[in-house]
Amino acid sequence: MCNSERGAGYKMATAAERAETLGYEAYQRWLGRVIPHLGLMGTAASSAETWLEGYEGWRYAGRAYQRKVFRRIMAWCGVLTDEERGAAAMTPEYEVAVVEHRVVAVYHRVVARSGGALGLPRELPLPAGGADSDRLLRRLARTAVRAVYALGLDFGLVRIVSAPRGRLAVRGVNPFPASMPEGLAGKFAAALADKAAADRAAQRVSTTDVILGLDVEFVLTTSRGELVPADRFLPRSGTAGYDAAMFGGSVVHALAELRPAPSGEPRQLFANLQRAMREAALRITDPALEWRAGGSPAAGCYTGGHIHLSGVPLTFGLLRKLDDYLALPLSLLEDPRCLVRRPTFGWLGNARLKPHGGFEYRTPASWLVSPIVTRGVIALAKLIAAHGHVLTANPSLDLRIQRAYYEGRKEVLREWIPLWMNEIKQAPSYASLAMDLEPFIHLIESGWTWNEDDDFRSVWGTPGFSDLSNDRFTFTTGSA
């Protein structure tokens, strides 16, 4: 290594160390503001105090303080930053305080591009139905949560500004604000007490508690790959229906979506998915059309394999397990074209709370490409939701792994697979799910990847799905 390279490495290491020290000191000051409020809550808040005392998220706070690192992480997960939003004389600025997916408070003020803030921030009232019941607050909340999660944090105060074309840009994230508006420390404390209660509940979840559901998308195309809107054949609602997507700058009802009946048993859910496929086949009457899945099976159109989970609380801890133990291994099987979906829909930690009381995990691309992949994904989701607390690794907190995921560096992601295999095999539910998980593992070991140009019906059965009742699929290296 030449002297200039050594010097650059030394400067980078020193900058990272300084940022980590700054994060620790800021955390200790912030803790001094919040802990007294937890003390006023009595024994109900004791577990939150214990969690905060052992919290190591301050190690990642430096990512928010190092501007170049911050911008890089935001770009990976598709979050616009202040530098990219363009010039504006004056613009609304919002400060959104979040603890995991919970909005703690929202503040508003007007800022000048060059002159800074104009006046003091004003707290906006949160609707009784929560931030999701107001369109602006919902968008602010989702942007704030996305930024905090991407940095490896669990809470923070996020500065957001308006950007051209109705977009939102993140100006910065303050992991541990030293100066907080009146009452914010107490609100953080209350939200953290609720988070600790959710964490305790997640550890008590049993295998029978977890119910899985799906809405998994695919597209209809001609043999040349031209998109055919799904609403020509499918109704909006029902087990097999259509959904909207942006295509060519317009909203079109392009996506076909399978919504099987939920189940707590992975094999039953798989059978329900087969029935949904049969229903779709009865409705899609043009035999010349191809059914394609994956991440971007038609140019400019993205498809996802969304997994619904209920019976287990949505926490950042569980979400990171889903990323690490499901999304990262699955990405090794993906067609390289899936990369374009990741900043838009496939970012790590993409999840939404749902009216049914559970949540929807939205990160994976559409895994309908193969029955082996489908069985493996469903079984992994069940294992992770039921026994995530015994899975100990968090590789996606490593920026090297994050970058590999977003840039498609599979050789880096493969380094995680031996530990991943060992950990899932130690989970209590592995033995009951092994019949579905082992072919999935063999597929990853083989180096196989799916091809988004393929009509996935060819591996599920005949175009009429005449043999879908056979639930034994064999694995062959190089195919699925």
Residue 281 and residue 446 in contact, taking contact as beta carbons nearer than 8 Å: no
Find all residues with CB under 8 Å of 440, minimum gap 6, and list them: 372, 373, 375, 376, 377, 379, 380
Neighbours of 81 (CB within 10 A): 20
| pLDDT (0 to 100) of residue 259 | 98
Helices (H), 151-255: 184-203
| pLDDT (0 to 100) of residue 86 | 59
Residue 437 and residue 430 in contact, taking contact as beta carbons nearer than 8 Å: yes
pLDDT along the chain (480 residues), means of 10: 46 73 94 92 85 93 95 97 65 93 93 61 89 93 98 97 88 93 94 93 89 97 94 96 80 92 98 96 94 94 96 96 98 97 97 91 98 98 95 96 98 98 96 98 97 94 47 41
- Please report which helix (H) or strand (E) contains residue 91, including its range: strand 90-99
| pLDDT (0 to 100) of residue 480 | 65
Strands (E), 311-447: 351-353, 359-361
| pLDDT (0 to 100) of residue 477 | 37
Residue 287 and residue 236 in contact, taking contact as beta carbons nearer than 8 Å: no
Domains belonging to the chain, first-starting first, are: 11-203 (3.30.470.20), 207-460 (3.30.590.20)
- Residue 398 to residue 152: CA distance in whole angstroms: 9
Neighbours of 326 (CB within 10 A): 24
Return the structure tokens found at 284.
């899609």
Q: How far is CA 260 from CA 111, 214, 281, 292, 352, in A?
A: 48, 6, 14, 18, 19
| pLDDT (0 to 100) of residue 85 | 63
By CB atoms closer than 10 A (0-12, 13-18, 19+), residue 53 is exposed
- Please report which helix (H) or strand (E) contains residue 258, including its range: strand 250-258
- Residue 202 to residue 277: CA distance in whole angstroms: 33
Return the structure tokens found at 27.
């955390």
| pLDDT (0 to 100) of residue 303 | 97
DSSP string, 270-323: HHHHHHHHHHHHHH---TT-EEE-SS-SBTTB--BEEEEEESS---HHHHHHHI
Q: How far is CA 429 from CA 271, 304, 351, 424, 467, in A?
A: 20, 26, 24, 9, 29
Q: Report the phi/psi class of residue 241: left, alpha or beta, with left for phi > 0 and alpha for psi in -120 to 50.
A: beta
Neighbours of 479 (CB within 10 A): 12
Per-residue pLDDT reduced to its tens digit, 303-327: 999 999 999 999 999 999 999 999 9
- pTM value is 0.91
